[in-house]
Amino acid sequence: MSPESLPEPRTREGRAGLAALRAEPERAVLAFDFDGTLAPIVADPRAARAHPDAVQALARLAPRLAGIAVITGRPAADAVRFGGFEGAAGLEGLTVLGAYGAERWDAADGSVHAPEPPPGVAAVRAELPAVLRQAGAPDGTWTEDKGRALAVHTRRAASPDEAFALLRAPLRALAERHGLMVEPGRMVLELRPPGADKGAALADYVREKRAGVVAYAGDDLGDLPAYETVTTLRGDGVPGLLLYSAPQAGNEAVPGLAERADVTVGGPAGLVRWLNGLAETLTASR
């Protein structure tokens, strides 16, 4: 293992988190965001796929850990499909928590638990085209219907940032009229029901696995609640590690994550290197 593949965390808490993870992996939960963390950012959200070596890297670690979860804003079924997680050898214990934790898929039985969306989602779906038209949404604006949420993407507009800024207020007003919230992300404004977030999803998963160590990797604003959960757990004496998946060349960075993270990896490829580095140190210390 080269030091590059498993760098020293830059904070004291992070170093304690990594030390605990290496000392007692069987008590550890590892959780990952999907887009931007396990899967490279691409222009068309339907074309996103996990890094080609991600499943194998996770599968190397899984037998040594208390649990691995993917916690994503995607519907659970989409993340399973785009991740290539179904039937993956070594990932029979994987859990995917979709829609910020409102949905769940377990590899153990292949079941998806996805509660009915609240009625506000149907109302927003019906009104959204007119709201976008009235707001002057530029060409390239694209709506992803996620079942229990609608995500308006601006990445393919000529000026993605300007389109994002233009649409923010009208979309927030639409969401609020129907009891939804706007979840901002990387060139996306998602109108979704409140009541779920990645922080609560991670805390529940850690409790379920009775884990005594936790690591979380993310890249976007929706990951901040999970960062917060790791921070809270650390305060309660549970060692934790925060990883930040930095944007690939030419892609935007999101404020608030890099500063808080203990370890920065270079996007999904860097995360795969880190996972393989961890797997090697665990094997070496067995």
Residues in touch with ligand L263DTV3 (CB under 6 A): 33-36, 41-43, 45, 48, 72-74, 144, 146, 151, 153, 155, 185-188, 190, 220, 222
Alpha-carbon distance of 98 to 269, in angstroms, equals 22
Distance of closest approach, residue 153 Cβ to ligand L263DTV3, in angstroms: 6
Distance of closest approach, residue 247 Cβ to ligand L263DTV3, in angstroms: 11
Distance of closest approach, residue 14 Cβ to ligand L263DTV3, in angstroms: 22
Q: Phi and psi (nearest 5°) for 70? A: -105, 125
Strands (E), the chain: 28-32, 67-71, 95-98, 103-106, 111-113, 142-145, 150-153, 181-185, 188-192, 213-218, 240-245, 263-265
Distance of closest approach, residue 219 Cβ to ligand L263DTV3, in angstroms: 7
Active site residue 33: yes
The candidate with the shortest Cα–Cα distance to 216, out of 28, 11, 46, 22, is 28
Distance of closest approach, residue 124 Cβ to ligand L263DTV3, in angstroms: 15
Of the residues 33, 35, 78, 223, which is catalytic? 33
Sign of the dihedral defined by the CA atoms of residues 203, 209, 212, 217, in that order: negative
Q: Which is nearer to ligand L263DTV3, 25 or 101 (CB)?
A: 101
Q: Which is nearer to ligand L263DTV3, 151 or 242 (CB)?
A: 151
Q: Please answer whether residues 163 and 141 qualify as being in contact, where contact means their C-beta atoms are separated by less than 8 angstroms.
A: yes
Distance of closest approach, residue 142 Cβ to ligand L263DTV3, in angstroms: 9
For 219-246, the DSSP string reads -SGGGHHHHHHHHHHHHTT--EEEEEEP
Position closest to ligand L263DTV3 via CB: 73
Q: Which is nearer to ligand L263DTV3, 216 or 274 (CB)?
A: 216
Alpha-carbon distance of 70 to 245, in angstroms, equals 14
List the structure tokens of 69.
Answer: 């979860």
List the structure tokens of 282.
Answer: 């665990």
The candidate with the shortest Cα–Cα distance to 184, out of 254, 84, 273, is 254
Return the residue matching tokens 């500063």: 259
Say what angle helices 224-235 and 198-208 make with each other, to 10 degrees.
40
Q: Which is nearer to ligand L263DTV3, 27 or 153 (CB)?
A: 153
Terminal Cα-to-Cα distance of the chain (whole angstroms): 15
Which residues form the catalytic set? 33
